[in-house]
Chain A
Amino acid sequence: GEDVEQSLFLSVREGDSSVINCTYTDSSSTYLYWYKQEPGAGLQLLTYIFSNMDMKQDQRLTVLLNKKDKHLSLRIADTQTGDSAIYFCAESQSNDYKLSFGAGTTVTVRA
């Protein structure tokens, strides 16, 4: 979506960390999400962060939010071949049913 932007591609070596970046324009965004989509599958919610938080960690995943710059990142530690997928950043606002998605970042993990 035009309100959420992501880089389109990322190539990372197995075992390294991956960092996927996202910027959004709407300062009233309440929640920001990261979804993963593997080939032929639906979207899997990986994690989300509330707009009054700076960081959230969940096992290998770390989300950082810079609200001033409207910048969101997802770090995947010890990237594995199973992490190869398209990752979508999305945002929603209070009392709104719509999620605005970024274009998606295709992550390729090489041996």
Chain B
Amino acid sequence: DTEVTQTPKHLVMGMTNKKSLKCEQHMGHRAMYWYKQKAKKPPELMFVYSYEKLSINESVPSRFSPECPNSSLLNLHLHALQPEDSALYLCASSPGTPIGNGYTFGSGTRLTVV
């Protein structure tokens, strides 16, 4: 299995809703990432988990809450989002630091906040 699987593929949520994005990989990768991508822009790093511990938080607002229940799973809990948070949310993984192999990206969750 050489994939990163993200669910759901599309999500529409209201500003008062609570929802979660899920990401799964079975490649034995020990680093997992959340990125946010606006249309026709490069991905922006949000969080990095290394060996199931949060190692980087790029000053992301607290309405985004990551969770890494085990080495294969990564969640992003969403609460009280704003319309400007609408974007493609990409999960990625790498064996450790991404040198050599880079990241393996999932196909993303397209989030619309209404």
Interface residues of A (CB under 8 A from B): 1, 30-31, 33, 35, 40-45, 48, 50, 86, 88, 90, 92, 94-99, 101-104, 106
A44 to B107 alpha-carbon distance, docked (Å):
9
A86 and B97: CB pair below 8 A?
no
Nearest Cβ in chain B — how far from A55, in angstroms? 17
A103 to B37, CA, bound (A): 11
Contacts of A92 in B (CB 8 A): 97-99, 102
Query: Which of B14-22, B41-49, B69-77 lies on the face that meets chain A?
Result: B41-49
Q: Is the CB of B99 within 8 A of A30?
A: yes
The answer to whether B66 has its CB under 8 Å from any CB of chain A is no
The interface residues of chain B lying within 8 Å CB-to-CB of A30 are 99
A53 vs B92: C-alpha distance in the bound complex, in angstroms? 26
Q: Is B105 an interface residue (CB 8 A)?
A: yes
Q: What is the 8 Å Cβ interface bit string for chain B, positions 84-114, against chain A (1 contact, 0 not)?
A: 0000001010100111111111111010000
CB < 8 Å A-B pair total:
70
Q: What is the CA–CA distance of A102 and B42 in the complex, to the nearest angstrom?
A: 7
Q: A43-B105, A97-B98 are in contact. List 8 more A-B contacts (CB 8 A).
A: A31-B100, A31-B102, A35-B102, A42-B105, A45-B103, A97-B33, A98-B48, A99-B98
Question: Is B31 at the interface (CB under 8 A from chain A)?
Answer: yes
CB pair A1–B97 under 8 Å, yes or no, is: no
Q: Which of B41, B42, B102, B106 contacts A45 (CB 8 A)?
A: B102
Select which of B100, B107, B108, B110 is within 8 A of A50 by beta carbon: B100
Instruction: Return B12 CB to nearest CB of chain A, in Å.
Output: 16
Q: Which residues of B contact A106 (CB under 8 A)?
A: 40
- In the bound assembly, the distance between CA atoms of A1 and B45 in angstroms comes to 11
10 tightest Cβ-Cβ pairs between the two chains A and B:
A101-B42, A42-B105, A42-B107, A43-B105, A33-B102, A97-B48, A45-B102, A31-B99, A42-B108, A92-B98
A41 vs B6: C-alpha distance when bound (angstroms): 12
Contact (Cβ within 8 A) A1 B42: yes
